[in-house]
Amino acid sequence: MTPHDDFLLLILSSPSGAGKTTLTRMLLEECPELRFSVSHTTRAPRSNEVDGRDYHFVDRARFDALVEARAFLEWAEVHGNRYGTSTAEIDRARAVPGCTGMIFDIDYQGARQIGSKVNDVVSVFILPPSMPELERRLRGRASETEETLSRRYAVAEREIEHYALFHYVIVNDDVKRAFDELRSITVAERARRQRRAPLAEALLRAGRLS
């Protein structure tokens, strides 16, 4: 699959508790021309989550049917639940007037799958400043039990092992500084030669005709 001209496909990934959700929200507020890719998941919604806004919440049977229909660009099982990105999400985003890109909030497994199927995707991995700080953030979540905390902490170590799969790595020790880095990456990637080449070539063709 090839990107549509200068349409930006931006993957954000991190272990739970590193601040990916906060940084994603900040980037969407700063760059309203970007659209968030709403994933499908088999996990139950949290109290503050809305179906269709945060995730498409489906049961396992429905998720398996979508896998069988090859409806997902990527999918994986994380923390005992399944998550997947529908190919239709990109098509819907491209159809929105003024939309210039899409943000994917996925783990390293999904990032690897998308990278193998989509040309010129940009991937960013967000690190916590330390493992003790990551544990502190996880414990600060009212939704975490000791069992889920231990599982997420173990998964976090495995996820960090795959940081080298990503183009950029941001350390979220200060959310404002981390966001400044993320925004800078977004701005710089939009100006890459490959993304601006269609416009440059169009200008050259117009000049030759005048």
Q: What DSSP state is assigned to residue 165? A: G
Sheet holding 55-57, edge to edge: 55-57, 39-41, 81-86, 72-78
DSSP 3-state of 143: coil
Beta-bridge partner residues of 85? 74
Q: Which candidate, 169, 183, 165, places its Cα nearest to that of 128? A: 169
pTM of the full structure: 0.85
The end-to-end CA distance of the chain, in Å, is 35
Q: Which candidate, 94, 105, 90, 110, places its Cα nearest to that of 28? A: 105
Q: What is the pLDDT along the chain (210 residues), one digit of tens a residue?
A: 544 457 899 999 999 889 999 999 999 999 999 999 999 999 999 888 999 998 999 999 999 999 999 999 999 887 789 999 999 998 999 999 999 999 999 989 899 999 888 878 999 999 999 999 988 888 876 666 788 788 888 889 999 999 999 999 999 999 999 999 999 999 999 888 888 888 888 899 988 876
Q: What b/e string do you get for 120-133 counting C-beta neighbours within 10 Å, with b at 16 or more?
A: ebbbbbbbbeeeee
**DSSP per residue over 69-110, as a string?**
TT-EEEEEEETTEEEEEEHHHHHHHHTSTT--EEEEE--HHH
Which residues are CB-contacts of 180 (< 8 A; sequence separation ≥ 6)? Answer: none
Pairing of the two strands 72-78 and 81-86: antiparallel
